[in-house]
């Protein structure tokens, strides 16, 4: 039993395991469980709205033709993200999520840092 708990502890489901264990000791646990999962849903939806705005707004600023068809463009971006997300729902999806988490996040961070340095140094005409 302990081996299973340690294995779950390392995965992304640990929060749900810990919450279930904590709620078993509190009176009115079904109410608090409902509130917790409602909060999880709201957190996920607000995060998704922020990500969508972070993608759509800069694209509309750069390509003014997207401003005419804002709703169609939003639906198109949403469908593209949905289709890309389906890739991670396959049986091998957890493998790719672990790869993203462990290995693939380093390169984008380095690229973002390089572009931030360029964005800061370019307006000030910094020369090396």
| Annotated binding-site members for Na(+) | 43
Q: Contact at 8 Å (CB) between 19 and 37?
A: no
Q: Dig out the tokens for 27 from the structure.
A: 């009176």
What is the dihedral sign for C-alpha 100, 103, 108, 112?
A: positive
Q: Residues at the annotated binding site? A: 43
Instruction: For 48-73, give the DSSP string.
Output: HHHHHHHHHHHHHHH-THHHHTHHHH
Phi, psi (degrees; rounded to nearest 5) at 28:
75, 35
């Amino acid at each position: 039993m302990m081996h299973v708990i340690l294995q779950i502890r390392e995965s992304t489901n640990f929060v749900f395991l810990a919450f279930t264990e904590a709620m078993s000791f509190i009176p009115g646990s079904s109410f608090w469980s409902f509130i917790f999962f409602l909060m999880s849903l709201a957190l996920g939806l607000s995060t998704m709205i922020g990500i969508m705005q972070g993608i759509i707004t800069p694209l509309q600023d750069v390509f003014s033709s997207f401003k005419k068809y804002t709703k169609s463009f939003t639906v198109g971006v949403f469908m593209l993200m949905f289709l890309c997300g389906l890739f991670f729902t396959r049986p091998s999806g957890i493998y790719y999520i672990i790869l993203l988490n462990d290995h693939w996040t380093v390169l984008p961070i380095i690229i973002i840092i390089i572009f931030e340095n360029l964005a800061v140094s370019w307006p000030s005409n910094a020369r090396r």
